[in-house]
Structure 1
Amino acid sequence: MPGIDDVTETATGHQVIQQYLRTLDGSPGVYRMLDAQSQVLYVGKARNLKMRVSNYARPSGHSGRIARMIRETASMMFLTTRTETEALLLEQNLIKQLKPRYNVLLRDDKSFPNILIAGGHPFPMIRKHRGKRSDPGSYFGPFASAGAVNRTLNQLQRVFLLRTCSDPMFESRTRPCLLYQIKRCAAPCVGKVSEAEYAGLVDDAVQFLKGRTTRVQADLAREMAAASEEMEFERAAALRDRIKALTQVQSGQSINPKGVAEADVIALHMEGGQACVQVFFIRANQSWGNRDFYPKIAGADAPEVMEAFLTQFYDDKEPPRMVLLNTPVDNPDLVQQALSQRAGRKVVVGIPQRGEKAGLVENAARNARESLARRMSESATQTKLLEGLAEAFDLDAPPRRIEVYDNSHIQGTNAVGGMIVAGAEGFLKSQYRKFNIRSDAGANSDDFGMMKEVLTRRFERLLKEDPNRESEAWPDLLLIDGGAGQVSAVHQIMTEMGVDDIAMIGVAKGIDRDAGKEEFHRPGSRPFALRHNDPVLYFVQRLRDEAHRWAIGAHRAKRAKAVSATPLDDIPGVGATRKRALLAHFGSAKAVARAGLSDLSAVDGISAAMAQNIHDFFHDKR
């Protein structure tokens, strides 16, 4: 929105906000409050923009959090929408994108895994799937974690004997694998089960994942009885083993609700300015795990936190038919309407008062309370460690953000730099970074050169994005894996970039390279050590080891990708799907290179034009 002529650039507060009332009407929409540096302080929605903004224009009657926000407001921006529901959805999109200081922020926003029974194959495989549901097949989920998916897949393998191997591996098998020997797969790859029999196994697995376990067990019992009458004792014994495995699975699901087929149970607990939200996933009358979240609440009350969590959590996820809460939300009808619009069907949002649903909510609330207590205890310990770190290394204050750097390579090949981040909340894994070494330093096994490249790329970007160093992305302390030489080189690099006021410490192995005998190096200071049982020493060791783990993991992933690379990767138009189809059909990239046009055109998904493109690529290569 254009600036207001009679408001100076440095003016802030409710008088600035009053100037905008002249240009607003009663439309629904979204507003943004910005500070003097045009940084977004807050994003909000309104059924009536003029009425909502007029509340901020009052000089008094605000909570401490809102009063601080108003005092910092130098300008505002507005977007009108057709409905309040649209405003709510737009508000949460902007919050996730801009991360304003005074909004409730859902910081952990990873996707949840599903189970996929793939389609398009006479013997469908079952596997874990994360991300968009773009592959053909039947999806079941979400599950709270990869562990919950893996446990369920293990159960399904024991009971229904479905294959988990990839299609190329399936096509190349000539004898059963180990999973068949330990009764975890029916071995359709070598004809141990017919297509019709395997389809029956798939149908049983689908019924199980839909919660119809009683029907599955009854069908298995009938089949076992029929096999016994026909004196097919080996088949009857196999069915008996499957019934036994299914019984064990059911006995382990005693916590599953009987009267709740599909719901997310969401409980909020707030204490000491922090919050924990527990989400339990109920699908097909089965508990598919739980996940805890710790949103940044910025002083908001419980109804506001719950509303913000729901709208941000379901921004890119399909809501279930029922969402059970322990805390009311600010606008229950609006939230329910937004979730229903997101799902394309009715979604019921409510707080149960009695019965099994209330018990589920109570259980989730207890878990939220206990999880927050553990986190606060860990946070207190972390705060003491940071204070000890500041004292041990003579820092001006406990660091809010520590960045630790390490490199990994094998004689210069697949060189990767790694950065991890830690702070008062422990390891901030969402802010870890990997750097593929682009310069000749990697090929020359030049650790100094690799560190220079990593730090230069890191801080040049920081200087470009935040030259005034106002964001929390700037570190207070750098930990470098190395001794005096590494520290001196890093100090020179940072000085050249004009950011030589960030404390840095080099961690070098001491005598015999034993853990516990580390030496610490600072620019212009003599090396020193900490006593063997100092908690700060253990803390620094954990930071260094985490950076080492992260860098090695990145290096191994890069090396594995290089090993699996083929000339097919360089052909325009040949992506992962066509590459898999070509390798499955011909067996190797070399065979693809030798294939004629007619052979290439016979591959599923390869058109005549694409076949010509592939043929020309290898012909030109020669």
Structure 2
Amino acid sequence: MISSEIGKEVIKKELALIPKLPGVYKMINSKNEILYVGKAKNLPNRLKSYVSEKNHIIRTERMLSQTKKIEITTTSNESEALLLEANLIKKHKPKFNILLRDDKSFPFIFIGKEDKWPQIKRHRGKKEKKGFFFGPFASAGSANWTIKMIQKIFHLRVCDDTVFKNRERPCILYQIKRCSAPCVGFIEEKEYKQSVDDAIEFVSGKSRKIQKNLSQQMEKASEELDFEKATILRDRIKSLNIIQSSQRVNEANLVEADVIAGYKESGKTCIQVFFYRSKQNWGNQAFYPKHDAEENLSEILNSFVSQFYENKSVPASIILSENIREKDLIEKTLSKKEDKQINISVAKKGSKLKVINQAIKNAKDSLSRKLYESQNNKELFESVAKKFNLETNINLIEVYDNSHIQGTNSVGALITYGEEGFIKKRYRKFNIKIRENSQDDYGMIKEVLERRFKRALQEKDNYLTFPDLVLIDGGKGQYSSARSSLNELGLHDIPVIAIAKGKMRNSGNEVFFHNGKELKFEKNDPTLFFLQRIRDEAHRFAVSAHRAKRKKGMTSSLLDQIEGIGSIRKRALLNHFGSARAVESASLDEIQSVDGVEEKVAKKIYNFFHE
């Protein structure tokens, strides 16, 4: 029986020592794991409520029954406590908190206006560079599409500085009219700067003004009989019309806002975030926060908003589908963080309500698909367990594959599949370290599994929890190697299955090995298709890791062995001469003529090849 008295006694002992200040408290269990992170305007008053209240919800009862220790951190004010709470929840992922699981940074478009020849590119992470940032965009694809349109209209460069400085003739982007070739002086600096200014105004929502300017320039070029320039301007206006029609101005006239809507069903929640900037919809993203089934939607949204903006830029307006408990505190905290007024509101009527209802519909549809996939996966897991007579329930499968070419650039790969699909954050690649294993598939499997499961047994940093099933891409030999590796580590209870293609190496004739038996499925069996799919994903990941390693090896050269030759000088030399062999054949004067290679470095390079 669950007893909350254990945690209550821990709190009672600490109460007298806790200052009456705002701050954050952590509930910790006997394994020193953080169970829950909470905040309070007055720490003792908040913690007293755990002791005095008699009828806690089941989740709180369970948490208190496991609490063996409390740690507190005081802050200057409640806003600081809110930010610290969000940061700690993201860092430690306590099991009794509502968790925002998909917390990647969103892409922005960056234009480095302070450069002589500004570049446009996609950017993620901290905004440390000087220039203009536009975003966030919901996906890399959305940002890339906008960059492509900007290239078509304004002909800005996308190449990095090293390539730009070492070009002697324009690249293909100039030929297909997506760049004005500033690298070789095909456009004057003043004219290019004007294109940059126009691009910034365009992304800022002033496309009508840009269209008018382009039309005037086209008419002027026609009057001056410069038909080539007029044709280029006409094509740019066409591209501008395409992007205007595809990025319709939203009917709610939202200049800078995030629309956040949630939908809850069967104990699961989907939250949709729509990004509106410069009166345009820049895409949406779905999130599936982790929470107890009985948690209400308002509380889930409250936690989501405070965690979501902990490390992201905040728009002037946040429009929600539900009222949240800490609206005023979050509004005040985010306004202070961004040094501007942030308004959080709930859409109740008019065009904003239409936008929210559309977001709720998206959340509902996304959640329905997610629930269907989860149910489907549960049934497939049960089918696998039944087919192979497994004694354990399956919720998590790890799939392993190897990739190499005649023993070179050998890589082992691990992918993971759970009830909600592929779990990308649990993907791992293993560069084979033992030379004898690099040409031995059995040795590679043994090394990869030993490294992966030893880390878990030792609970080292970044270790993964155990799977319910290990699937190996291979035959009887690979199965035996994997089974013996796990047995040596004492992991006899983790089942292993090997999947091998048939004699003709074609899908559909797979043979499965498990516990000394060979098994086959009917060709149209959904469970076979499922196992093929996750096997193919492991193969794809292994091959991509191998190619990346091989490509890295191919880009290394004799130049890497010369002390003082970094990546920038190396690239400049290769761009100038074409290959390391050509550098070897070059004279001292020729080497010294390369930009960035001064006399002392040129002598070092020349002597390396000729001494």
TM-score (normalizing by structure 1): 0.90
Q: 1:229 to 1:157 in 2, by over 3 A?
A: same
Question: What are the residue-to-residue correspondences of 1:471-620 with 2, within 5 Å?
Answer: 473-523=465-515, 525-566=516-557, 569=560, 576=567
Are residues 1:78 and 2:72 paired? yes
Amino acid at match of 2:197: D
Deviations 1:513-535 (A, max 9, x none): 22111111113x22111111111
Deviations 1:287-335 (A, max 9, x none): 1111111110234322332222222222222212222211222211221
Give the one of 17, 32, 48 matched to 1:38.
32
What's the CA shift for 1:29? 1.2
Q: 1:184 to 1:464 in 2, by over 3 A?
A: same
Are residues 1:327 and 2:322 paired? yes
Amino acid at match of 2:328: D
Could you tell me which residue of structure 1 aligns to residue 279 of structure 2? 285
Q: Is the 8 A contact 1:256 1:285 kept in 2?
A: yes
Give the one of 57, 60, 80 matched to 1:63.
57
Q: Aligned partners of 1:205, 1:448: CA distance in 2, in Å? A: 56
What's the CA shift for 1:599? 8.1
Are residues 1:365 and 2:356 paired? no
Are residues 1:236 and 2:230 paired? yes
Paired residue secondary structure (2:52): coil
Deviations 1:272-294 (A, max 9, x none): 11111111111222211111111
Amino acid at match of 1:68: R
What's the CA shift for 1:261? 1.6
Q: Aligned partners of 2:270, 2:565: CA distance in 1, in Å? A: 46
Give the one of 327, 346, 349 matched to 1:351.
346
What's the CA shift for 1:544? 0.4
What's the CA shift for 1:586? 7.5
Q: Is the 8 A contact 2:392 2:468 kept in 1?
A: no
Identity of aligned residues (%): 45
Could you tell me which residue of structure 1 aligns to residue 262 of structure 2? 268
What's the CA shift for 1:617? 8.5
Greater CA drift, 475-484 or 183-192: 183-192
Q: Is the 8 A contact 1:483 1:507 kept in 2?
A: yes
What's the CA shift for 1:619? 5.5
Q: 1:615 to 1:386 in 2, by over 3 A?
A: farther
Paired residue secondary structure (2:312): coil
Paired residue secondary structure (2:471): strand
Name stretches of at least 5 consecutive residues in structure 1 with no aligned partner. Answer: 1-9
Q: 1:131 to 1:527 in 2, by over 3 A?
A: same
Could you tell me which residue of structure 1 aligns to residue 157 of structure 2? 163
Could you tell me which residue of structure 1 aligns to residue 191 of structure 2? 197
Could you tell me which residue of structure 2 aligns to residue 116 of structure 1? 110
Are residues 1:298 and 2:292 paired? yes
Q: Aligned partners of 1:80, 1:269: CA distance in 2, in Å? A: 35
Paired residue secondary structure (1:495): helix
Are residues 1:401 and 2:396 paired? yes
Q: Is the 8 A contact 1:421 1:427 kept in 2?
A: yes
Q: 1:562 to 1:133 in 2, by over 3 A?
A: farther
Amino acid at match of 2:361: R
Q: 1:311 to 1:601 in 2, by over 3 A?
A: farther
Paired residue secondary structure (1:511): coil
What's the CA shift for 1:418? 0.5
Q: Aligned partners of 1:250, 1:539: CA distance in 2, in Å? A: 43
Q: Aligned partners of 1:117, 1:304: CA distance in 2, in Å? A: 39
Q: 1:102 to 1:242 in 2, by over 3 A?
A: same
Could you tell me which residue of structure 2 aligns to residue 6 of structure 1? none
Amino acid at match of 1:88: L
Could you tell me which residue of structure 2 aligns to residue 7 of structure 1? none
Q: 1:296 to 1:258 in 2, by over 3 A?
A: closer
Greater CA drift, 454-463 or 201-210: 201-210
Give the one of 132, 138, 158 matched to 1:138.
132
Paired residue secondary structure (2:310): coil
Are residues 1:454 and 2:448 paired? yes
Paired residue secondary structure (1:527): strand
Amino acid at match of 1:417: G
Q: 1:88 to 1:574 in 2, by over 3 A?
A: farther
Are residues 1:428 and 2:423 paired? yes
Could you tell me which residue of structure 1 aligns to residue 90 of structure 2? 96
Deviations 1:427-470 (A, max 9, x none): 11111111111111354x11111111111110110001189xxx
Q: Aligned partners of 2:318, 2:559: CA distance in 1, in Å? A: 47
Count of residues in correspondence between the two structures: 604
What's the CA shift for 1:101? 0.6
Q: Aligned partners of 1:614, 1:20: CA distance in 2, in Å? A: 69
Amino acid at match of 1:196: K
Name stretches of at least 5 consecutive residues in structure 2 with no aligned partner. Answer: none
Q: Is the 8 A contact 1:585 1:603 kept in 2?
A: no
Greater CA drift, 531-540 or 170-179: 170-179
What's the CA shift for 1:589? 5.9
What's the CA shift for 1:102? 0.7
What's the CA shift for 1:229? 2.2
Could you tell me which residue of structure 2 aligns to residue 316 of structure 1? 311
Deviations 1:65-89 (A, max 9, x none): 2122122222222111121111111
Could you tell me which residue of structure 2 aligns to residue 50 of structure 1? 44
Question: What are the residue-to-residue correspondences of 1:197-236 with 2, within 5 Å?
Answer: 197-236=191-230
Q: Aligned partners of 2:150, 2:370: CA distance in 1, in Å? A: 35
Could you tell me which residue of structure 2 aligns to residue 3 of structure 1? none
Amino acid at match of 1:43: V
Paired residue secondary structure (2:98): coil
Q: 1:284 to 1:441 in 2, by over 3 A?
A: farther
Q: 1:575 to 1:620 in 2, by over 3 A?
A: closer
Q: Aligned partners of 1:407, 1:531: CA distance in 2, in Å? A: 27
Q: Is the 8 A contact 2:139 2:283 kept in 1?
A: yes
What's the CA shift for 1:575? 5.7
TM-score (normalizing by structure 2): 0.91
Q: Is the 8 A contact 2:583 2:591 kept in 1?
A: no
What's the CA shift for 1:231? 2.5
Q: 1:613 to 1:494 in 2, by over 3 A?
A: farther
Paired residue secondary structure (1:560): helix
